[in-house]
Structure 1
């Protein structure tokens, strides 16, 4: 599957999930620490969500990571975010993120995404 088609498919699934939750892009984006325009770009297939953002969607809204990425399984999980089986450091990160101020959420997510992009770019050039 092409990267462009994959982005489009992920965007369509995200929009479907957000609509299922009856949320606007703005309301959906705020707890995730991203701007509405970022969610809009993903839904349009213009950008791909980071693994961190997908994990946050699962944590906050119960949207399955596997369903968002691949369209497999159920859209929504049956369990609360506290029950999601994550390594302790990821659970600590999400707990801290969930109570942080919006400006801190945005800064942390931006830093993590930039770091991930640099790591992926470095791996491609090896």
Structure 2
């Protein structure tokens, strides 16, 4: 897909995440022109103009429709907040800052260096 990519959660709820991941077990939700259902992982890159929409509106939709993990990347603060779905609600898994390594329950064998993630190339 070329960004933006529609993720259709319902007839009324369509979002365009900054980055998303869908596991091979759920590849059936990937259509020709859009994704029909919640991704496993959504990553939203925060900016002053979109932070409220990302943290309130979109986060609520991702929680309601069962996204397993949500990352908020804040380049300005040099931080990534990871929310994990537990019993139908997002719970903070951690906040990771420069110099730290991010871990994810979706990718147990991977480690993400925050400095690398936040470096603009």
TM > 0.5? no
Q: TM-score, normalised by structure 2?
A: 0.28
Whichever structure has more strand as a proportion of its residues is 2
TM-score by length of 1: 0.27
Greater relative contact order structure (CA < 8 Å, 6+ sep): 1
